[in-house]
Structure 1
Amino acid sequence: MTITGSGKVIPHLDLLTDEQKSEIHEYSTKILFSTGIRVDSSEARKIFRKTGTATEKNNRIFLSRELIDWAIKTAPSDFTLYNRSGKVAFDIGANHLDKTRFGIGVTNTHYQEPGTGKVIKFLRKHMEVSTRLGDALPNFDVISTIGIPSDVSSKLSDLYGVLDMYANTEKPLIILILKDNTISKVFDLLEHLHGNISGKPFVLPYINPVTPLILNYSTVEKMIATVQRGLPVIFSNYSMYGATTPYSSAGTIALLNAELLAGLVLSQLIKEGTPIVTGSLPAGFDMSTMISTYTPQSFLMNLACAEMMEYYRIPHCGTSGSANGWGPDLHASSALWMNHLTSCLGKVGLAPFVGSNFDSLVFSPTSAVYADRIIKLAKNLAGGFLMDEKSAVLDEINSVGPGGDFLISESTIKNYRKEIESNPVWPGTTLEKWMNEGNPKAIDLLEKHTLNLIDNLVKPANYDELISKGEEFIKNVASQSK
């Protein structure tokens, strides 16, 4: 707990000491200097070599401490992300650690229908409704690439996906582009629809290396294309400890941090001052099922990564709690609660991929609605409470006296609706009322609420114009590639 100058008690999680942060940095720099990182792009290797302080051997690049320190100092500590209309959405970075930002996503191949729970292939119409839902849910700040539409050509799925996201939300976009040679066309599409996209950036491309210690060709090309357009970029790695990183938390943190530093250096060598968000998605590897899994240890590693980025004063992106649930169920809720609460209490900047199940293969609108509720409660807890003479209401206590009540006291009337609001999903009820209503199941009420939200989603005013304009652009791209 921390008591601020205004008398507010703020709960928080602090994991690492300053000495431990320094140790992690030392371990990571040793990895980059001694083990190095494989760089598959000849252009990137050339960029590294030109510094005179990085060496190359057999496509491995070895980075000096001086170059790493330079990149940390050069990268911006924070930047502003805008919405589609050019209004400030939020600031992200080392000076804005009081609030974690959440988004829905990401790159799901399937869709779980609300009400029935049936899992089907992800289609364009699912991108439309899911994006509108994310736009309507108040506790989501960004829309990430929710799914991969299967009812269009795989060569054009990135373009159609970005079009359907752009046309259905005002919120900022985090885009994950699958095809190596598509990202420039995606930027062209956005400029065709929007005009200048770098002056007030509303789109954040998300790229990742291959763990362990590979800067693959595709990631480098996407980073270069993003930086050349004057856009900020997210550079985030994904690991499964015991498989792609060491089983020990210390080893995983050191290795993942080394990869992030390598990406940071490259971004600043491409263009000094490029805004970059860095972070990790640490998970475990279940050898019995051969799938990834979130564990208490992986959430601790997520917090450690966030604290390292704060140590470097670099904006951070972390885990989202979308794990191995079978839908909006008890299995999923443990990871959602653990992720969102620790993120809000820690120093996590972005948690952009909420709403997936089955190892992030299936997007569930109902899970997203449930998570929206969890995020709100986690934010409320992280907001703390006032502790000063006025909030202690000593005069009120004296007036009520022994044996009285505070039902109509000034502080109750003033604060009740702020603190104890009605729950739109699960209204408070008595045992008798619940039994008289036929013992309704909580999941049924959640599904009903989700369907009601979807039924009342509103088509954006300029939706038809944007879709028509975007589809014509994509048709021209398709005809040119034949």
Structure 2
Amino acid sequence: MSMLSVTPSLNLLNKDQIERIHHDSLEILATTGIRVDSPKAVALFKKFSCRVENKSQVFPEKELIEWAIKKAPSSVDIYSRTGQKSFTLGPGITKEQQNQTRFGIGVTNLHYQDPITDKTTPFTLDHMEIATRLGDALEEFDVISTPGIARDLPPESADLHAGLAMMANTKKPLVLLVSESNCFEPLLEMFETLHGELNKKPFVIPYFNPITPLVINQETSDKIMATAIRGMPFIYNNYGMSGATAPITPGATLTLLNAELLAGILFSQIVKEKTPVIAGSLPAGFDMKKMMSLYTPHTMLINLGCAEMMHHYGIPHSGTSGSGPGWGPDLLAGNCFWMNHLTSIMGKVGLCPFVGGNFDSMAFSPGAVVYANEVIRMSRIFAAGFSIDNKDVPLDEIKSIGSAGNFLMAPSTGKRFREFRLESPIWESLTLDEWQEKEMPKSGKILRKYTDDLIKKALPPDDHDEIMEKGRLFITGRF
């Protein structure tokens, strides 16, 4: 990147503040500790000389945490299903690759919102295919995260069918959330059967949550062990609600969540050294009146602070995605999208995997996904900045046109005017008169129709039928 490139950036924490959060996080782990529910996981912590009380309360020491931070890879390459490198996450990459936040649709919604009416219905396997193809068609989305839970299938096999539908309907990388714990390893085995090894060019990224505050539950530790043994990268995200599962103040929430992430990074490395882990937080507030989570400017700041802590540690980051408050592809959703996506791209956020959920991520909205795609596109243009080198500041041309002239016919205008036109693929540019002549069209209605048309045109990859047939045979053999 040229020294004469002007690019906006956003920094939250200074060096002293980072050190304070790190120090206090280590203090939490050394004095309060973290509850570990799996006896096998506790045994691993003991093997690495961690003090254990009451059979499950583990107290990691500073030196061991710092060892784990050094062992964890500082970058991870993510590939498409067909083996092409899609992107790299982590601070241990080139300057040109840094601050390129990646986005994904999702996540595990129970309902599906009709793209035209916003009416909700229970999420089904057909919706899984629709959502995956939509995410595949939208250029600004880099990954497909599990968009919903297929409620038209028995729980014991729903995750296998869902994972198969995702794999068959896109070649983009997949962020995998598994609701039924007994399905996790069979799902990885199915991917291995259909694709081969998952560690050399990983296109499947399992996603795990500990329990806040300060618990590594058995399901999470079991899944981490199954993933790390295979040499696969995984996402370790905690979810804390300030005033409920986390302290009420943003600073205390950030510190507690950071302590939990350090414990997870440590566990990944004692399971297997050099395991790639992508860590981060999904911070939220808690609405005492409605008894539900909410997203505020403060929770977005915590997200940025967490990204900076992971950058400081040299750990690839995954954070919150600006979804939740919308009722559809509306002003409520757009407000949060803009606050999250623009600040993420300008900050140090690595991955925003869960875009498109409304009503506290209960309903998957195709319209919201399409609108977010436009927000991401605009945010990336903004964050790209501009140049002030000689070819971009033509002093001779300015001199020749002089005072009171115009640049309509200037050589640089004729050569480059197309670069600076900002045309939306969704909405045409209208004057007031044109808008009135068209009987005052509503922007939301246009967005909904555009989304519906995009869904109808979105086709599966050419190997869709082959993958579905082989996958169904695998599932039939299991159930």
Q: Shorter-chain TM-score category?
A: over 0.9
CA distance in 1, matches of 2:429, 2:384: 24
Pairing of 1:60-459 with structure 2 (within 5 A)? 60-94=57-91, 95=93, 96-459=97-460
Deviations 1:41-66 (A, max 9, x none): 00000000001244333410001001
How far residue 230 of structure 1 moved from its aligned partner, in angstroms, is 1.4
* Aligned counterparts of 2:73 and 2:440: Cα–Cα separation in 1: 55
Q: In 1, distance between residues paired with 2:412 and 2:351?
A: 35
C-alpha distance in structure 2 between counterparts of 1:264 and 1:104, whole Å: 25
CA distance in 2, matches of 1:395, 1:31: 62
What amino acid is aligned across from residue 43 of structure 2 in structure 1? K
For 2:379, the aligned partner's letter is: A
Is the 2:50–2:58 Cα contact (8 Å) retained in structure 1? no
Secondary structure of the residue that 2:155 maps to in structure 1? coil
Report the TM-score, using the length of structure 2 for normalisation: 0.97
Report the 3-state secondary structure (helix = DSSP H, G, I; strand = E; otherwise coil) of the residue aligned with 2:460. coil
Contact 2:34 2:57 in 1 (8 A): yes
> Quick one: distance in 2 between partners of 1:137 and 1:218?
33
Contact 1:49 1:56 in 2 (8 A): no
Give secondary structure in 2 for the equivalent of 1:156: helix
**TM-score (normalised: structure 1):** 0.97
Distance 2:263 2:177 in 1: 20
1:18 to 15, 21, 39: 15
| Runs of 5+ consecutive residues of structure 1 not aligned to the other structure | none
Query: Please, which moves more after superposition, 404-413 or 294-303?
Result: 404-413
* C-alpha deviation, 1:5, in angstroms: 4.2
| Helix, strand or coil at the partner of 1:284 | strand
- Aligned partner (choices 55, 59, 82) of residue 56 of structure 2: 59
Distance across 1 between alignment mates of 2:417 and 2:222: 54
User: SS state of the match for residue 182, structure 1?
Assistant: helix
C-alpha contact (below 8 Å) 1:97/1:348 kept by paired residues? no
Between stretches 45-54 and 73-82, larger displacement belongs to: 45-54
Partners of 1:229 and 1:165 in 2: CA distance: 21
Moved over 6 A (4+): none
Measure, in 2, the Cα distance between the counterparts of 1:246 and 1:411.
56
Looking at structure 2, the residues matched to 438 and 475 of structure 1 have their Cα atoms a distance apart, in angstroms, of 55
How far apart are the structure 1 equivalents of 2:63 and 2:273? Answer: 15
Q: CA deviation at 1:285?
A: 0.5
User: Matches of 2:150 and 2:470 in 1, distance apart?
Assistant: 19
Measured after TM superposition, the shift of residue 399 of structure 1 is 2.1
* Structural RMSD (CA): 1.1
2:101–2:345 Cα contact (<8 Å) kept: yes
CA-to-partner distance for each residue in 1:96-145, whole Å, 9 max, x for gaps? 43200000000011100111111101111111111011011000000000
Are the counterparts in 1 of residues 171 and 461 from structure 2 also a CA contact under 8 Å? no
- Alpha carbons 2:76, 2:90 under 8 Å: kept: yes
1:200-256 deviations in Å (ceiling 9; x for gaps): 111100001000000001000110111111100110000110111001111101100
Which residue matches 1:470? Answer: 471
Q: Distance in 2 between matches of 1:88 and 1:6?
A: 28
2: CA distance between counterparts of 1:157 and 1:469?
A: 17
Name the amino acid aligned to 1:86. Answer: G
SS at match of 1:89: strand
Number of equivalenced pairs: 475
Mapped partners of 2:404, 2:237: distance in 1: 58
8 Å Cα contact 1:180-1:221 kept in structure 2: no
Q: Secondary structure, in 3 states, of the residue corresponding to 2:282?
A: strand
The AA in structure 2 aligned to 1:288 is: K
Tell me if structure 2 keeps the 8 A contact 1:36–1:62: yes
Q: What is the percentage of aligned positions where both structures have the same residue?
A: 49
Secondary structure in 2 matching 1:52: coil
Task: Give the whole-Å Cα distance in 2 for the aligned partners of 1:100 and 1:358.
Answer: 24
Q: How many Å separate the matches in 2 of 1:18 and 1:108? A: 39
- Unaligned 5+ residue runs, structure 2? none
